[in-house]
Chains A and B, each alone.
Chain A
Amino acid sequence: MARLKDRLYPVFKLTVNNIRRHPIINLISITIIAVAMLMLALYFLAYVNADRIVSGWRSDLKVAVYLDENLSPGRLRQLKDFCLELKEVKSLNYVSRDEALARFKVTLGDDSNFLDGLPENPLPASLELLLDAEVVGYSDVERLARQLRRQAGVDEVVYGSYWLRQLFSLLRMVKYFGFVFAIFLSSVTVFIVASTIRLSLFARRETIRVLYLVGATRRFVALPYLFEGVFQGAVASSVALGFAFAVFKYVRFWLREQVPQWSIAAQLGFFTIPSLLLFLLLGTLLGLAGFLISSRWFSCD
Chain B
Amino acid sequence: MIRVSNLNKSYNHPDMVLKNVSFNVQKGEFVYLSGPSGAGKTTLFRLLFADIKPDGGQIVIDGLDLIRAGADRLARLRRQMGIVFQDYKLIPNYTVFDNVALALEVAGTPRQQIQKRVWKVLKVVGIERKIERLPVQLSGGEQQRVAIARALVNNPKIILADEPTGNLDYEIAEEIMRILYYINSQGTTIVMVTHNRSLLQRFKRKVFYLDKGSLQAYVWPD
Within 8 A of B (CB), among A126-173: none
A213 at the interface (CB under 8 A from B): yes
B137 at the interface (CB under 8 A from A): no
Q: Known: A211-B102, A215-B106. Contact between A6 and B79, CB under 8 A?
A: no
Contacts of B169 in A (CB 8 A): none
Check: B75 CB closer than 8 A to any chain A CB.
yes
- Please tell me if A183 contacts chain B, counting CB pairs below 8 Å: no
Question: Considering only CB atoms, which chain A residue lies closest to B75 in the complex?
Answer: A217
Q: When each residue 89-117 of chain B gets 1 if its CB lies under 8 Å from chain A and 0 otherwise, what string results?
A: 11101000000001101111111000000
Partner of B75, one of A7, A21, A215: A215
**Residues of chain A within 8 A of B107, CB atoms compared:** 215
A120–B98 Cα distance when bound, in Å, is 100
* Chain B minimum-CB-distance residue to A21: B93
With the chains together, A212 CA to B154 CA distance in Å? Answer: 15
In the complex, the answer to whether B110 meets A6 with C-beta atoms within 8 Å is yes
Q: Once the chains bind, are A10 and B93 in contact (CB under 8 Å)?
A: no
A9–B93 touching, CB < 8 Å: no
Say yes or no: A17 contacts B83, CB within 8 Å: no
B130 within 8 A of A: no
CA distance A207 to B92 in the complex (A): 9
A207 close to B110 (CB less than 8 A): no
Tell me how far the C-beta of B89 lies from the nearest C-beta in chain A, rounded to whole angstroms: 5
Selected contact of B89 from candidates A2, A13, A206, A217, CB within 8 Å: A206
Contact of B108 with A213 in the complex, beta carbons under 8 Å: no
Chain A residue with minimal CB distance to B50?
A300
**Nearest Cβ distance between residue A117 and chain B, in whole angstroms?**
95
Secondary structure at the A interface, as helix, strand, loop or mixed, is: helix
Is there an interface contact between A209 and B110, defined as CB atoms closer than 8 Å? Answer: no
* B30 contacts the other chain (CB 8 A): no
Chain A's nearest CB lies how many Å from the CB of B188? Answer: 16
- Enumerate chain A residues within 8 angstroms of B150, measured Cβ to Cβ: 214
Which residues of chain A in 1-57 are interfacial with respect to chain B, using CB atoms and an 8 Å cutoff?
Answer: 2-3, 5-7, 9-10, 13, 17, 21
Q: Which residues of B contact A9 (CB under 8 A)?
A: 105, 111
The closest CB in chain A to the CB of B49 belongs to A213
Residue A210 is within 8 A (CB to CB) of chain B in the complex: yes
* Minimal beta-carbon separation of B168 from chain A (angstroms): 20
Give chain B residues whose Cβ lies under 8 Å from the Cβ of A7.
108
Can you list 18 residue pairs at the A/B interface with Cβ under 8 Å?
A2-B110, A6-B109, A7-B108, A9-B111, A17-B93, A206-B89, A206-B91, A210-B89, A212-B75, A212-B78, A213-B49, A214-B102, A215-B75, A215-B76, A215-B77, A215-B78, A215-B107, A218-B71
**B72 within 8 Å of A (CB atoms):** yes
Cβ–Cβ < 8 Å partners of B111 in chain A: 5-6, 9
Chain A residues within 8 Å of B91, by CB: 206-207, 210
Within 8 A of B (CB), among A201-238: 206-207, 209-218, 220
